Structures are given as structure tokens and as C-alpha cells.
Amino acid sequence: MKKILIVVALFLILIFLLINQSFEDMQISKYESIEEVKKNTAIKGGWIPAILPNSSYDIVESHDLDTNTIFGSFKYKDEDEETFMQNLTDLNSADDMLEWENFIFKVDKNLNRVKFRNRPTLTQ
């Protein structure tokens, strides 16, 4: 009976270690306002685009250090929409995707919500 308990305990420890290693490099950050983002190093680190409107709020970003993949979203107030949109370039895609530097954006003007991600890098 003792051997079975030891084997089960070792199996559970192994599963825990495997799961822990799988998610170790994924980081998720949430900010209530653009002021919080500016206090943090998320823009300097390249995790959040530097062109977020001044009225940005409910900002969320996640990045994976292993794959260098970034996903995020934020909301903004109507008064900043025109200025923000002027910074973006149309990708001429069927998905109405926009770009700025290394970021791709999907803007929902009805909800004043933006989803963003970094441009995928091609691996050879």
C-alpha cells in the first residue's frame, strides 16, 4: 500500500511540474488607465503600443516570453477616436485589420474597444 501511495504522489508531483513549466512564461497584466501603463514598463518593454489614446482604460495585455506573442485590448472614449485612427494604416484585409509599427489592431467603433497583437514573426 505504501508503494502505491509513493507512486501516486510522485505522479502528481510530475504532473504539477509539467503544468507549471508549460505556463511559466505567460504573463497577463491588467491596467485601469493609461496612467497605470505609463508607470509600468509595458510600453518600454514593447508589450503595449505607445499610441494608446489618453482616455484608454480597461487595458489588458498578455505576452508569452517563449514565443514573443502579444495579445491585448483596451477601451477608449469617443473624443480620442479620430486622433487614434489617424495613427493606424489599413492592411487591406477582409478582417478590417489596421497596423502601427509592429502591432496589428482590430477596432470596434461601436463599443470603443480595440484588440491588438504583435505582428507574427516568421521562423525559418
pTM score, two decimals?
0.76
Distance CA 97, CA 89 (A): 9
DSSP secondary structure code for residue 119 in this structure = P
| Alpha-carbon gap, residue 52 to 74, rounded angstroms | 8
Domain boundaries, given as residue ranges, for the chain: 25-118
How do residues 43-74 score in pLDDT, each as one tens digit?
Answer: 888 899 999 999 999 999 998 887 889 999 99
The closest alpha carbon to 112, from 87, 84, 86, belongs to: 84
Closest CA to 28 of 70, 63, 74, 79: 63
* Confidence (pLDDT) at 23: 56
Q: Is 34 helix (H, G, I), strand (E, B) or coil?
A: helix
